[in-house]
Amino acid sequence: MGKRALITGITGQDGAYLAKLLLDKGYEVYGTYRRLSTPNFWRLEYLNIFDKVNLIPIDLSDHGSIVEALKISEPDEVYHLAAQSFVEASFETPVATGDITGLSTTRILEAIRQVCPEAKFYNAATSEMFGKTGLLNGGKPLNENDVFRPMSPYAAAKLYSYWISRIYREGYKIFAVNGILFNHESPLRGLEFVTRKIANEVAKIKLGLSKELRLGNLDAKRDWGYAPEYVESMWLMLQQEEPDDYVIATGEAHSVKEFVEKAFEIAGLNWEDYLRVDKRFMRPLDVPCLVGDFSKAEHMLGWRPRVKFDKLVEIMVKEEINRWSRWLRGEKFPWDAPNYPSENKIFTRALRM
Ligand code: NAP
Ligand code: F7E
């Protein structure tokens, strides 16, 4: 029989790609989602897996709902991806971010300890935990032994989730790993993150649907990789004999400005005609530079990035131009007509009564 996996946050970018990867590997996939006033399954529809995954409603602030999700899914592997993941928003809602992005990891680990202690656990840690170290070490690629100096409520919450995962690993012998993933992007990225925001606006400008692109800090440098490749590393981490923590990155840093220039170049436009700096998108603190050293992952997992910066920008801009062109021709998209999954794909606690 195939393995069973539970993915928290299956409606997000990584959750959707990971679900597809695991289905392709023969897993029975369960995913958690939260009830919203408008259903949010467009990424699963986009990847044609909407009716192939089993869905369980939970909220990360509700411990009981997490326990039920584990009892329903009986997982061999748990991938904990759900979080308030937007750094900018964490400055607006620091307490909620601490609860959802930080404390919820303890809720999940505690539920695993009680319900299925043999399950393997992946925690979505982040390069943001390094924060100022990325600057203080002069831009040298960061590895698993570098010091964490978080610069946002989001990063502080993730650092808590990183440590609580290690504590459950060492204290309760739970197979818990931390994937310290650097930024990874795709056409399924949330619209507010800088890469998709740029790609989307550039495409709209190209097609006469928008006139300008408004951004904040153009000097920040990030190590941007391709999300479908990064979810492979999550799976690889849970296939090892021993649990450990791994940096996943491309080893290259590029500035937001470079991303803008490349995106406009791909669209055949001059960026200086359209770019405006807007204070609204500046953060109280912003990590100046992050670049990662993936050599441990390469050595231990056999993982290395294939899509690098130029190709990534091209994939994203071309896909947005394609989407908006089709929209102009009157085509409908999953996000135009929000859908509910077929009833036999939703699992609630009532089914266990
Ligand atoms: P994402 O697209 O923002 O997805 C986040 C997921 O969490 C969504 O499914 C969201 O549900 C769910 N969620 C948020 N609040 C919730 C709550 N209160 N209860 C239940 N579910 C909730 O993020 P992503 O880019 O896929 O990233 C996946 C994980 O990796 C996150 O933990 C993120 O912090 C971390 N990470 C991401 C990156 C990156 O570059 N992408 C890098 C390092 C680490 P809705 O769809 O309903 O909003
Ligand atoms: O910002 C700058 C912004 O929001 C990147 C999350 O997945 O990766 C992500 O966090 C940079 C920052 O990603 C705008 O100030 C300029 O310096 O795309 P972002 P992030 O903050 O790096 C890490 C690894 C995660 O773990 C997170 O979950 O771009 N920037 N102008 C802007 N950023 C946004 N969003 N919007 C702008 O207008």
Buried b (16+ CB within 10 A) or exposed e, 196-207: bbbbbbbbbbbe
The residue annotated as part of the active site, out of 17, 79, 122, 154, is: 154
The residue annotated as part of the active site, out of 11, 32, 97, 126, is: 126
Pairing mode, if any, of strands 275-277 and 225-226?
A: unpaired
Output the residue whose Cα is nearest ligand 1's atom 9: 9
Output the residue whose Cα is nearest ligand 2's atom 38: 215
CA distance linking residue 279 with residue 266, whole number of Å: 27
**Interacting residues of 138 by C-beta distance below 8 A, sequence separation 6+:** none
Instruction: Identify residue 154 by its one-letter amino acid code.
Output: Y
> How large is the C-alpha radius of gyration of the chain?
20
- CA 34 to centroid of ligand 1, rounded, Å: 12
| pLDDT of amino acid 349 | 82
| pLDDT of amino acid 230 | 98
Atom of ligand 2 nearest to the CA of 287: 17
First to last CA, the chain: 26
Does residue 15 line the site of ligand 1, with CB under 6 A?
yes
Output the residue whose Cα is nearest ligand 2's atom 10: 87
Q: Which of 4, 8, 154, 3 is nearest to 67 (CA)?
A: 8
| pLDDT of amino acid 161 | 98
What is the model's pTM?
0.97
Domain of 309, in residue numbers = 4-351
- CA 85 to centroid of ligand 1, rounded, Å: 5
**Interacting residues of 353 by C-beta distance below 8 A, sequence separation 6+:** none
Does residue 85 line the site of ligand 2, with CB under 6 A?
yes
Does residue 13 line the site of ligand 1, with CB under 6 A?
yes
| pLDDT of amino acid 334 | 72
Residue to mutate (ligand 2; options 92, 97, 189, 193; most atoms within 8 A of CB): 193
- pLDDT digit string (tens) for 34-92? 988 888 899 999 999 999 999 999 999 999 999 999 999 999 999 999 999 999 999 99
| pLDDT of amino acid 244 | 98
Q: Structural domain tally of the chain?
A: 1
The residue annotated as part of the active site, out of 77, 128, 185, 229, is: 128
CA distance linking residue 257 with residue 263, whole number of Å: 10
Dihedral sign, CA of 40, 191, 69, 27?
positive
Active site residue 128: yes
- pLDDT digit string (tens) for 265-307? 999 999 999 999 999 999 999 999 999 999 999 999 999 999 9
Judge contact between 13 and 86, C-beta under 8 A. Answer: no
Q: Which of 243, 235, 240 is nearest to 27 (CA)?
A: 235
Instruction: Specify the CATH number for the domain of residue 167.
Output: 3.40.50.720
| pLDDT of amino acid 343 | 67
Output the residue whose Cα is nearest ligand 2's atom 26: 126
Buried b (16+ CB within 10 A) or exposed e, 21-45: bbbeeebbbbbbbbeeeeebbbbbb
CA distance linking residue 54 with residue 41, whole number of Å: 12
Stretches in the chain below the pLDDT threshold 50: none
- CA 94 to centroid of ligand 1, rounded, Å: 16
CA distance linking residue 27 with residue 2, whole number of Å: 5
Phi, then psi, of 142 in degrees rounded to 5: -90, 140
